[in-house]
Structures are given as structure tokens and as C-alpha cells.
Amino acid sequence: MDSALAPANVDSVPLALNGATHAPSQTDSVLKNESVSENRGEAVKTNLLGLNRKAMEEYFRSIGEKPFRASQLLQWIHQRGTDDFAAMTNLSKSMRGYLTEHCEIRPPEIAHVQYASDGVIKWVLQVDATNRIETVFIPEEGRGTLCISSQVGCALNCSFCSTAQQGFNRNLSVAEIIGQLWVAQRELGRERRVTNVVLMGMGEPLLNFNNVVDATDLMMDDFSYCLSKRRVTLSTSGVVPALDRLGEVSDVSLAVSLHAPDDGLRNELVPINRKYPIKELLDACKRYIGTEGRRKVTIEYVLLEGINDSPAQARALGKLLANVPSKVNLIPFNPFPNSRYRCSSPETIAHFSEIVQKAGIITTTRKTRGVDIDAACGQLVGKVNDRSKRHFRLQAIE
């Protein structure tokens, strides 16, 4: 067994990060911590980009204003994409002056951008002096999907993932998560819209629980991006307790990185499986779907030559999912430097897909997109060199 898969990796998963429940009291912490700008020798300003409706209402209450101001601000910030309080003409002049003095709308800054020949756009965003993240827009007929990050790096050490190689740096704030959508929409302009969001970029979303939930709340808020729950998908490697909590506070669509039909292999590929094995994970998926109105969970399965792509494993996967309302998204592996894995052949992938489909499970295979910009990925982001192409798993998520 590879040292990279040592049990210590599982034990060191920072579950304490999501120890707090998503409760109204979070508003306080949002105001006091995550959305308050660093003191850079200037007056400390509150970054309103990171406030969801509840936090925004609380902010206006705290300054003696009516909470309905929250809806106005959300519309200006997220629907009209403005970062200029002076332009908010349905606010009084004194209110605009107050907000200019005490608040700001500060998204992550674009460090680099790449345009692929097939329309895929990749932004590298600077979130602080040393950290960068990736956000990718993937246009398709009738829709545009944005793949966003939830953490800088990741602690979970999945053996097929290059993000795992850089370790965990920090959680993204609400402003940094929703800011990826804000920036993308600003750059796309009025001609192209983001119609779907997937949390499949860097990081494990459920290990940044509160911030991710607040950001997805904003995505689905009628006064913000107004995306339906079918159009916001959270992808997790299987943090079971957090998944149960998610079912209590959110109804985003769910994708799960399974990648193996048995615990022995999944322990190697997705080490958090040692803590939350497959049965516990699939039971949690069923509970989540139960609270969501019986929708399907998307099962992600990256195909690794000679590792998890045999006909017997396809049959085992079909059997495993027999009682789980699910669909399978097969992902041809994209090798990265020093990776120990290779991609399965097209024939193997087709045969694997056929077997799972015969088990009665809708199965799709990820299409390759943005190939001509992927090669330069490492040059763009330095250590943030995610060549696992999680961004493109979304092809089968509807």
C-alpha cells in the first residue's frame, strides 16, 4: 500500500472544521469574521458579497435599518452584478454614503484566464497573497455550467487526485465561494448565463460546511441567482455526518465520488472510506434523497486501468446501487505527472458502462472538454495544478 494512503491521512481529516451546526448564530460569525475585510491600513469594511439573506438582514438590523434592504442589496450585488454603492439608485443618498464608507463588494481577483476552442473558460482566481483557486465555465447547448472550488487544497488525499498532492491550505469564505459565480457572471456578460453550478473544484465541500451552505443559499435565493435546487450540485467524497446535516439545512443536488465497488479498494482510492465505509455512505445518500423528494444521487466513478474497471467490478457496482436511487457518471482518468494510474481503454469503458446499464442504472460517460487549455494548467496556477478534471465530471449531471 502506498504511503500516501496511510491511515494517518484519514485520522487527520479536519472534521472539527464542520463541527458547528449550520444555525442562525452563524450570522454573527459571518459578520465578525469571514466577510469583514482585513485591516490593510484602511478602515475595516464589511464585504457584503459574503452575506446571505439572513446575514444581510442581520447586518441592516445592526445599523438600525429595515431588513427589507437586504433584498435590495442582494439584487444589486448578485443580479445586476454591481460593486458600486453609488449606482444603487433605489437606496437613499445617505444610505449609499454609509455603505460606501463602511462596506465593500470585493470578489476574488482574476489572476489568469484561458479560453479553450470549445468555449470552455478557466479562471485562476487570487484569493489572498499566496493562494489561488480555479473556476471553470463549460458551455453546452442550452446551458452553461460553472465548476467552483470550496477549499484551497484538500485534506482527503484521494490517490487519483492531483489537488490532494498540495495538501490542505484553508477553507474559502462565503465571499470567495459565491465570488467565483459573481466573477464568472460579470465576465460572461449578458449574452451568456451560468445556468448550473457544481461544487466539484478544489476541496471537499462538506469540510467547509457552513460557508458552502451559505453560498449555495445565495445561489438559490430568489433575489440573488435564483437557481433551482436541480441546478446546484454538491459533490462529496463521503463525509457522512456532514451529509446528514446537509439534509437538514439544504436541498442541493448531490453527487458522490465512489470510484470503487468495495471497501478494500475504496480505502485505497478514497481514504476517507476507512472512516465512513460504502454502506454508511450509501445509507446517508438514501437519507439525503429522502429529504429531497426522491431525486437521484449522481455516482461518480473514475476509471483506472486494471484497478477498478473489470467486468466483475462493473457487476458489483450495479449490485451495490440496486437499491439506491442513482445514476452513474463514468470518468475516464486523465493522468498527471507522477500519477501511478492510467486511463482505461475506450473499449473497457464502453463494456463497463454496458454492464452497469444492464443492471438498470442510467450510466453516462464524461465527455472531454477544454483539452487545449488543460495542458497549460500547471503554468497558470503553479501548485494549484488540478489535472484530475473533476470539472468535467459534470457532463452527466442534470
Pairing label, strands 232-236, 363-365: unpaired
- Residue 134 catalytic? yes
Residue with cell 445617505: 94
Q: Which residues inside 249-268 make contact with ligand SF4, applying CB under 6 A?
A: 257
Q: Which is nearer to ligand SF4, 18 or 257 (CB)?
A: 257
Report the candidate in 222, 251, 258, 221 with the shortest Cα–Cα distance to residue 234: 251
Are 37 and 101 in contact by the 8 Å Cβ rule? The answer is no
Q: Does 199 bind ligand SF4 (CB under 6 A)?
A: no
Q: Does 240 bind ligand SF4 (CB under 6 A)?
A: no
- Of these residues, 57, 58, 134, 176, which one is catalytic? 134
Minimum separation from the CB atom of position 154 to ligand SF4 (A)? 3
- Residue 140 catalytic? no
C-alpha to C-alpha distances, 135 to 58, 100, 132, 146, 165, nearest whole angstrom? 30, 29, 10, 7, 19
Minimum separation from the CB atom of position 256 to ligand SF4 (A)? 11
Q: Which is nearer to ligand SF4, 157 or 216 (CB)?
A: 157
Q: Report how far Cα 304 is from the mean position of its chain's Cα atoms.
A: 23
Which of the ranges 93-101, 161-169, 351-359, 363-371 carries the binding residues for ligand SF4, by CB under 6 A? 161-169
Which of the ranges 30-38, 104-112, 178-186, 199-207 carries the binding residues for ligand SF4, by CB under 6 A? 199-207
Question: Of these, 138, 156, 197, 255, which contacts ligand SF4 (CB under 6 A)?
Answer: 156
Q: Does 164 bind ligand SF4 (CB under 6 A)?
A: yes
Q: Does 203 bind ligand SF4 (CB under 6 A)?
A: yes
Are 175 and 50 in contact by the 8 Å Cβ rule? The answer is yes
Q: Does 204 bind ligand SF4 (CB under 6 A)?
A: yes
| The three cell numbers locating residue 328 | 452513474
Minimum separation from the CB atom of position 159 to ligand SF4 (A)? 9
Q: Which is nearer to ligand SF4, 121 or 154 (CB)?
A: 154
Q: Which is nearer to ligand SF4, 163 or 267 (CB)?
A: 163
Q: How many residues bind ligand SF4 (CB under 6 A)?
A: 12
C-beta neighbour count of 357 within 10 angstroms: 15
Minimum separation from the CB atom of position 163 to ligand SF4 (A)? 4
- Of these residues, 154, 158, 285, 377, which one is catalytic? 377
What b/e string do you get for 286-321 counting C-beta neighbours within 10 Å, with b at 16 or more?
eebbeebeebbbbbbbbbbbebbbbeebbbbbbebb
Q: Which is nearer to ligand SF4, 220 or 270 (CB)?
A: 270
Minimum separation from the CB atom of position 148 to ligand SF4 (A)? 12
Question: Of these, 88, 121, 161, 314, which contacts ligand SF4 (CB under 6 A)?
Answer: 161
Which of the ranges 77-85, 153-161, 273-281, 341-349 carries the binding residues for ligand SF4, by CB under 6 A? 153-161
**Euclidean distance between CA atoms 156 and 273, whole angstroms:** 10
Question: Of these, 154, 184, 269, 320, which contacts ligand SF4 (CB under 6 A)?
Answer: 154
Q: Which is nearer to ligand SF4, 45 or 393 (CB)?
A: 393
Minimum separation from the CB atom of position 336 to ligand SF4 (A)? 12
Are 43 and 29 in contact by the 8 Å Cβ rule? The answer is no
Report the candidate in 36, 46, 51, 58 with the shortest Cα–Cα distance to residue 98: 46
Q: Does 237 bind ligand SF4 (CB under 6 A)?
A: yes
Residue with cell 477549499: 151
Q: Which residues inside 13-72 make contact with ligand SF4, applying CB under 6 A?
A: none
**Euclidean distance between CA atoms 331 and 350, whole angstroms:** 11
| Spatial CB neighbours of 332, under 8 Å, sequence gap ≥ 6 | 302, 303, 343, 344, 349, 365, 366, 368
Are 202 and 149 in contact by the 8 Å Cβ rule? The answer is yes
Q: Does 238 bind ligand SF4 (CB under 6 A)?
A: no
Minimum separation from the CB atom of position 155 to ligand SF4 (A)? 7
Are 213 and 251 in contact by the 8 Å Cβ rule? The answer is no
Q: What is the DSSP letter of 78?
A: I
Report the candidate in 274, 296, 275 with the shortest Cα–Cα distance to residue 285: 296
Q: Report the SS3 class of residue 133.
A: strand
Minimum separation from the CB atom of position 289 to ligand SF4 (A)? 21
| The three cell numbers locating residue 333 | 482518468
Query: Known catalytic residues?
Result: 134, 377
Binding site for ligand SF4 (CB under 6 A): 154, 156-158, 161, 163-164, 202-204, 237, 257
